Amino acid sequence: MSYQQELNIALLAVQRASLLTKRVFHSHTKGPLSKSDASPVTIGDFGAQALIISALQHAFASDEIVAEEEAKDLRENEGLRTTVWDLVKEVRLRDDAAEEQIGGGVKNADIMMDIIDKGNSKGGAHGRIWALDPIDGTKGFLRGGQYAVCLALMVDGDVKVGVLGCPNLPVDDSAPLDSKVGENATDAEGMGVLFAAVQGQGATSRPLTEGALAQPKKIAMKSVSDISAATFCESVEAGHSSHSDQSQIAQKLGITKPSVRMDSQAKYGSIARGAGDVYLRLPVRKDYQEKIWDHAAGDLIVREAGGEVTDAEGNRLDFSKGRTLAANKGVVAAPEAVHKEVLDAVKSVLRNK
Ligand SMILES: Nc1ncnc2c1ncn2[C@@H]1O[C@H](COP(=O)(O)O)[C@@H](OP(=O)(O)O)[C@H]1O
Ligand SMILES: [Mg+2]
Ligand SMILES: [Mg+2]
Ligand SMILES: [Mg+2]
Q: Per-residue confidence of the chain (353 residues) as pLDDT tens digits?
A: 799 999 999 999 999 999 999 999 988 778 788 988 889 999 999 999 999 999 999 999 999 999 999 999 999 999 999 999 999 999 999 999 999 999 999 999 999 999 999 999 999 999 999 999 999 999 999 999 999 999 999 999 999 999 999 999 999 999 988 888 878 777 778 999 999 999 999 999 999 999 999 999 999 999 998 999 999 999 999 999 999 999 999 999 999 999 999 999 999 999 999 999 999 999 999 999 999 999 999 999 999 999 999 999 999 999 999 999 999 999 999 999 999 999 999 999 999 88
133 lines ligand 1 (CB under 6 A): yes
What's the rounded Cα separation, in Å, for the pair 10 and 321? 23
Give the per-residue pLDDT at 187: 77
Q: Which of 219, 254, 280 is the last residue of a domain?
A: 219
Q: Do 304 and 165 belong to one domain?
A: no
Strand segments, DSSP code E, in 28-92 are 33-34, 40-41, 64-67
Taking the centre of ligand 2 as the mean of its atom positions, its distance from the CA of residue 40, in whole angstroms, is 6
Substitution candidate for ligand 1 out of 291, 293, 324 with most atoms within 8 A of CB? 291
Q: Do 297 and 336 belong to one domain?
A: yes
Give the per-residue pLDDT at 181: 84
Q: Could you identify the atom of ligand 1 that is nearest to the CA of residue 138? A: 23
Q: Do 159 and 197 belong to one domain?
A: yes
Q: Do 209 and 240 belong to one domain?
A: no
- Please choose, from the candidates 247, 304, 244, 255, the residue with its C-alpha nearest in 3D space to the C-alpha of residue 277: 255
Give the per-residue pLDDT at 36: 87
234 lines ligand 1 (CB under 6 A): no
Give the per-residue pLDDT at 302: 99
Give the per-residue pLDDT at 26: 87
Query: N- to C-terminal Cα distance for the chain?
Result: 45
Range of the domain at 199: 4-219
Q: For the whole model, what pTM was predicted?
A: 0.98
Give the per-residue pLDDT at 252: 97
Q: Which of 219, 251, 279 is the last residue of a domain?
A: 219
Strand segments, DSSP code E, in 45-199 are 64-67, 128-136, 148-155, 158-170, 191-198
Taking the centre of ligand 4 as the mean of its atom positions, its distance from the CA of residue 38, in whole angstroms, is 13
Q: Do 19 and 35 belong to one domain?
A: yes
264 lines ligand 1 (CB under 6 A): yes
**What CATH number is attached to the domain comprising 307?**
3.40.190.80
Give the per-residue pLDDT at 176: 86
Give the per-residue pLDDT at 234: 98
Domain count, the chain: 2
Q: Do 199 and 276 belong to one domain?
A: no
Residues with catalytic roles: 45, 138
3-state DSSP assignment of residue 352: coil
Q: Do 25 and 96 belong to one domain?
A: yes
**What CATH number is attached to the domain comprising 11?**
3.30.540.10
